[in-house]
A and B are shown apart, each in its own frame.
Chain A
Amino acid sequence: MLSNSDNSDKVIKIFSGIRCVSKDQLPRYLDGRLTDVEKHLVEQHLTDCDLCFEALQALEKEGNMDKYTDLTGKLQRYIQQSIRPVSQEQKVLQYTRKERTKENLLVYFWVLAFAILGVSGVYVLKGHMRNNPTIPRLMVSAIPPAEAEKMPATEPAVTSQPIIAANHTSSVSNTAPAPAAAAPASAAAAPAAVDSAKIKLLAAERAAKRKAQADSALKASQAAAEARKQDSLKKLAEEKAKKDQEAEAAAKAAKEKEKEKEPEPAPKKEEKKEDAPPPTNSDENLYKAALQFQQQGNLSEAMDRYKRIEANGSGKYVEMARYQLGICYRSKGQSARARRMFKEVVRMNGSLKAAAQQALDTM
């Protein structure tokens, strides 16, 4: 039974696939140097394989063996050479292809990078150009606080002139002592580049003259009144009509006194400004004087006057004075105070609000 099973196991060998005789086995089989098992396997294969059997037959003939070994060696070398170089060539080709793609990518990268750089450079330049106008503006605001002062300073002076002129024309038409008032007005209107001391002196002289004129006028009127009274005492009967005249004269005198008093305070204010009761004229004059001081570069005097206007004055002169104070502070370099002044002007919400705001913005 056992032998039977063994036999049956061996039967299956009939159809077991066996590889062709190898280069090593072939000569050994021919020489009979194989083991029994190996030899049997080779013979099993030989029954099936025409190739191996024919090769065996060919090699059994004399003199073929040397040629066989020679040619086999050559052929194998040929095969290895023909295949390895190809694979190496393929590798080299692949490598070069990779390198080429890398280089191409690098080229693309750099081109892109430069393009981006160029575009961003142009953008930055444009931005710079756009910002450029602000730099001159800054320069302007840095350099000419004096100019900036002059601009608003001259403007109010110009605007104030017609007002003054109107006042004076009315006073001229109304009264005789008007020229006295016109004189300082013209003096103020023509603010030549004269020293303040000279101006003061001139003003004092004129004020003295005007006082003298006013006094003489008063005396004359009083004398006339007395004379008329004396006449009336003498001629009582006729004097009813004359009393009317006297009354008229008195009224006239009173009017004259009033009109004389009007020009008086203006020069007084220029001499001692704190005494001035009428607000507008004194503010105006103070402001003009301050402007003059400011234009002449005497900032402390100008600021003093502006402060006075600010303390006592009213309406637009306070605003203007504050604005000018702000400018004075700015030109002195006290930017915090200047800013405060401008802010106050802005808060006052007057005609100079926009200018103050601009000054604030440029500071």
Chain B
Amino acid sequence: MHQQLTSLSDKELISRTRKQKDRESEGVLMDRYSHLLVAITLPQLQKNPSLDPNIVFPTLLQRLSASLRTQSIYKANEWIMHTQRAYLNNQEKATPFYPSREARDLLHIENKVDKASTNTIDRQEIILRLEQALQRLAPEEKELLDEFYVEQKSFSDLAAAKGWNRDKVRNQLKAAKAKLAKLFINQAYVK
């Protein structure tokens, strides 16, 4: 059972947890993100020695488990990030998680692309519209996206070429992608 659950997507695991009250799938989901949770919490633990990992992580897991049942989660990574931030900022108050507009747009496009993967007509249409959206981007952004996605250059290559550090490359790419997503969605509305 555990083996089968690990191959399921986040969305399915969440729905199983909610509908069937399946503790096991909840555990699989938490297990999937546990290392990232530890990694992002490490700096805070080092900064603030009063935080005990034996208390922080169990309470974090409890909060995650509680919010898993009540809140709409589009992307698990965003949800975990938000919950961790909220906990570390204010340990008393449980701030509810609302997915950002950008994240929802991104998810929407990702789902569309995923659906079109086997449908050539849809696929061609998406590609056409993506090309159109790309044309409307700033030339540097378009160039950056082309280099990263089409030419498959790594962060380090790009950083070396542009003279930026890796974080800046990543942030530039993220910003360009967000812009592109916005353009793509707006095109759809115009159409």
The CA of A326 and the CA of B152, in the complex, are separated in Å by 129
Task: Give A357 Cβ to nearest chain B Cβ, in Å.
Answer: 83
B116 to A, closest residue via Cβ: A12
CB 8 Å contact bits of B3-26 with A (1 = contact, 0 = none): 000000000000000000001101
Known contacts A8-B131, A75-B57; A58/B39 CB under 8 A: yes
Knowing A17-B110, A78-B58 are in contact, say whether A11-B130 is a contact too (CB < 8 A).
yes
Give the interface SS of chain B, mostly helix, strand, loop or mixed. Answer: helix
Whole-angstrom distance between the alpha carbons of A165 and B173 in the complex? Answer: 150
B48 to chain A, nearest CB (A): 14
A10 touches B34 (CB 8 A): no
In the complex the two chains form, what is the Cα distance from A7 to B106 in whole Å? 21
Which residues of chain B from 23 to 48 have a CB within 8 Å of any chain A CB? 23-24, 26-27, 30-40, 42-43, 45-46
Tell me, yes or no, whether A189 is within 8 Å of chain B by CB.
no
Residues of A within 8 A of B134 (CB): 11
| Contact in complex: B26, A21 (CB < 8 Å) | no
**Which B residues are CB-close (under 8 A) to A55?**
35-36, 39-40
New A-B contacts (13) at CB < 8 Å, excluding given A55-B35, A55-B40, A76-B31: A8-B131, A10-B149, A12-B126, A15-B109, A15-B113, A16-B110, A26-B36, A43-B154, A47-B177, A51-B77, A68-B35, A71-B42, A72-B38
Say yes or no for A79: interface residue by CB 8 A criterion.
Answer: yes
Cβ of A13 < 8 Å from any Cβ of B?
Answer: yes
Residues of B within 8 A of A (CB): 23-24, 26-27, 30-40, 42-43, 45-46, 53, 57-58, 61, 76-78, 80-81, 106-107, 109-114, 123, 126-127, 130-131, 134, 145, 148-150, 152, 154-155, 167, 170, 173-174, 177, 180-181, 184
For the complex, give the distance between the alpha carbons of A75 and B60 in Å: 11
Query: Interface segment, A59-67, A109-117, A168-176, A215-223?
Result: A59-67
Chain B CB within 8 A of A139 CB: no
Shortest distance from the beta carbon of B173 to any chain A beta carbon, whole Å: 4
Docked pose: A15 CA to B183 CA in angstroms: 13
**A361 contacts the other chain (CB 8 A):** no
Among A12, A52, A76, max chain B CB count under 10 A is at: A12
The reply on A50 being an interface residue by CB < 8 A is yes
Chain A contact residues: over half helix, strand or loop, or mixed? helix
Q: Most chain-B Cβ atoms within 10 A of its Cβ — which of A8, A11, A15, A20?
A: A15
Chain B residues with CB under 8 Å of A20's CB are 32-33, 36, 76-77
CB-defined contacts of B109 to chain A, threshold 8 Å: 15
Instruction: Assess whether B127 is in contact with A12, with CB atoms less than 8 Å apart.
Output: yes
CA distance A36 to B155 in the complex (A): 12
Closest chain-B Cβ to A90's Cβ sits at a distance in Å of: 8
* A48 to B39 CA separation, bound complex (whole angstroms): 18
Residues of A within 8 A of B53 (CB): 71, 74
Docked CA distance A236–B132 (Å):
191
Contacts of B154 in A (CB 8 A): 36, 39-40, 43
Q: Is the CB of A68 within 8 A of B43?
A: no
Do A71 and B155 touch across chains, with their CB atoms under 8 A apart?
no
Tell me if A80 and B31 are in contact (CB < 8 A).
yes
A68 adjacent to B42 (CB under 8 Å): yes
Q: How far is the CA of A71 from the CA of B61 in the complex (A)?
A: 14
Instruction: Give the distance in Å from the alpha carbon of A49 to the alpha carbon of B30 in the complex.
Output: 17
The 9 lowest CB-CB distance pairs between A and B, nearest first, are A55-B39, A83-B27, A17-B110, A51-B77, A23-B35, A47-B173, A10-B150, A15-B109, A72-B35
Contact check, A11 vs B40: say whether CB atoms are below 8 A apart: no
Chain B residue contacts of A44, Cβ below 8 A: 148-149
